[in-house]
Chain A
Amino acid sequence: MSEKIQKPRVATAWLGGCSGCHMSFLDLDERLIELHDKIELVYSPIADIKEFPRNVDVTLVEGAVSNDENEEMAHLVRKNSRFVIAFGDCATTGNVTAMRNRFTPEELMRRTYTELAEEKFAIPSDSIIAKMLPKAIALHHLIRVDAFLHGCPPTPDEIWFAISELLEGRIPKLATAYLRYG
């Protein structure tokens, strides 16, 4: 029998957000080296891994659910992860991503690709392009979420606290330690 102890399998996903939460994650700086010793990063926009794997222990999800690709990803994350954290305000409330909700997807596409464009482009219609949902929604309005890491973006210290607590086998008490919006 192998005595090898498996490191916790951690993933991060990027839905409808500006990637600011991931930038803040990278701002863990030298703590990333420590983190690398403690976890196995099995999926992330900052790693070149094509498929979201099975048996993930913790997944941090940045961004609101804004298009059909986000929707599919959110379901896959939930199915394959034991613990899902809404990572930042867009995942928690919809935040800036949801500011487009007063317009229809058609209005938004027309405005972006024709009315405001310097050159008049056609509205992209290729079937491989993700389709906007009628409204961008918070992650927990689509899938079950186990914890919320607030902030726009969450600070590296807040991210470090959440991950450290989980690695110690505790559910991070983010609500009391780091509850904030914006």
Chain B
Amino acid sequence: MAVKTFTIDGQQFSAQEGETILQVAREHNIPIPTLCFLEGLSEVGACRLCLIQVEGNNKLLPACTTKVEEGMVVHTNTEKLKKYRRMTIALLASEGNHVCAVCVVNNHCELQNLAYEVGLVRVRYPYLFPKKELDATHKRFVIDHNRCVLCTRCVRVCDEVEGAHVWDVAGRGIDCKIVTGLDEPWGDAETCTSCGKCVLVCPTGTLFEKGVTVAEMEKQQDFLKFLVNARKKREWVYEE
């Protein structure tokens, strides 16, 4: 495979054809915030937090799905990008009901950490306070749509890793939501194996285990790398 040479934030890099900007950035500790991306799952470029600027291109591109190209000049942390990332988090905050103080993942939440990372001091947009539902029909887990940011990690992990495809996305715009089965209660979804992978990859307090209360839920996601390594490389080791 061909090797591509390019610059990120003024530094020269080379990478194999087919690698993404995000992969290269992660390898070299260049911080790019991500939300829908999770190593081990396919990339969908849905959350728009990893947007980067490429010289000669007017559009902002998601680092997770943009492949390296010869001579590419990439910027990952311009004022424009910082502003857009802050706007993205602010919009996520305004269109859900994210009440950190009473959330099961308070202090262990990826959305909360991103809000700090992008410096979200206050949300300028009016909060929409949408009427969202909570489904506690599953015997072990709960889904609280109030906290959902539609990253689709649950959809992907269930389809790509567990192979059950219980989850999917329904509706459009502000009515868009994650559904189980054919939009039936989770407890009635016969394809669910109750493996809990969706709960662990969920970045917010949307999916959680029954019995946990405020700030008690911490998501362990290293299982995913282990499984993917085991399947693809036949390596059965936990990385520290």
Q: Which A residues are closer than 8 A to B by beta carbons?
A: 86, 89, 92-96, 98-99, 101-102, 135, 137-138, 140-141, 145, 148, 152, 174-176, 179-182
Q: Are B129 and A101 in contact (CB under 8 A)?
A: yes
Q: A92-B122, A138-B123, A180-B116 are in contact. Are A102 and B129 (CB under 8 A)?
A: yes
- Cβ-neighbour of B100 out of A89, A98, A176 (below 8 A): A89
Q: Are B107 and A182 in contact (CB under 8 A)?
A: yes
Residue B74 is within 8 A (CB to CB) of chain A in the complex: no
Over the window 120-159 of chain B, the binary record of Cβ atoms lying under 8 Å from chain A Cβ atoms (1 yes, 0 no) is 1111001101010000000000000000000000000000
- Cβ-neighbour of A93 out of B102, B127, B131, B215 (below 8 A): B127
Number of interface residues of B (CB under 8 A): 22
Q: A89-B100, A182-B101 are in contact. Are A148 and B127 (CB under 8 A)?
A: no
Q: Are B112 and A179 in contact (CB under 8 A)?
A: no
Residues in A with CB closer than 8 Å to B215 are 182
- Cβ-neighbour of B102 out of A92, A96, A175 (below 8 A): A96
Residues in A with CB closer than 8 Å to B119 are 175-176, 179
Q: Are A102 and B131 in contact (CB under 8 A)?
A: yes
Q: Are A99 and B122 in contact (CB under 8 A)?
A: no
Residues in A with CB closer than 8 Å to B127 are 93-94, 98, 137-138, 141
Residue B97 is within 8 A (CB to CB) of chain A in the complex: yes
- Cβ-neighbour of A95 out of B101, B107, B122, B129 (below 8 A): B101
- Cβ-neighbour of B106 out of A94, A99, A174, A182 (below 8 A): A182
A166: min CB distance to chain B, Å: 17
Residues in A with CB closer than 8 Å to B212 are none
Please name the residue on chain B nearest to A102 by beta carbon.
B131
Q: List 6 A-B contacts (CB under 8 A).
A: A89-B101, A95-B101, A141-B127, A152-B100, A179-B116, A182-B103
Q: Are B112 and A182 in contact (CB under 8 A)?
A: yes
Q: Are A140 and B129 in contact (CB under 8 A)?
A: no
- Cβ-neighbour of A181 out of B97, B115, B126, B129 (below 8 A): B115
Please name the residue on chain A nearest to B124 by beta carbon.
A140
- Cβ-neighbour of B99 out of A95, A135, A141 (below 8 A): A95
Q: Are B102 and A98 in contact (CB under 8 A)?
A: no
B100: min CB distance to chain A, Å: 3
CA–CA, A179 and B121, complex, Å:
7
Q: Are A96 and B121 in contact (CB under 8 A)?
A: no
Residues in B with CB closer than 8 Å to A93 are 93, 122-123, 127
Q: Are A145 and B122 in contact (CB under 8 A)?
A: yes
Q: Are B112 and A181 in contact (CB under 8 A)?
A: yes
- Cβ-neighbour of B126 out of A102, A141, A179, A180 (below 8 A): A141
Q: Are B112 and A138 in contact (CB under 8 A)?
A: no
Q: Are A140 and B122 in contact (CB under 8 A)?
A: yes
Q: A148-B121, A179-B121 are in contact. Are A99 and B99 (CB under 8 A)?
A: yes
Residues in B with CB closer than 8 Å to A99 are 97, 99, 102
B187: min CB distance to chain A, Å: 23
Please name the residue on chain B nearest to A97 by beta carbon.
B99
Q: Are A96 and B122 in contact (CB under 8 A)?
A: no
CA–CA, A99 and B131, complex, Å:
10
Residues in A with CB closer than 8 Å to B99 are 95-96, 98-99
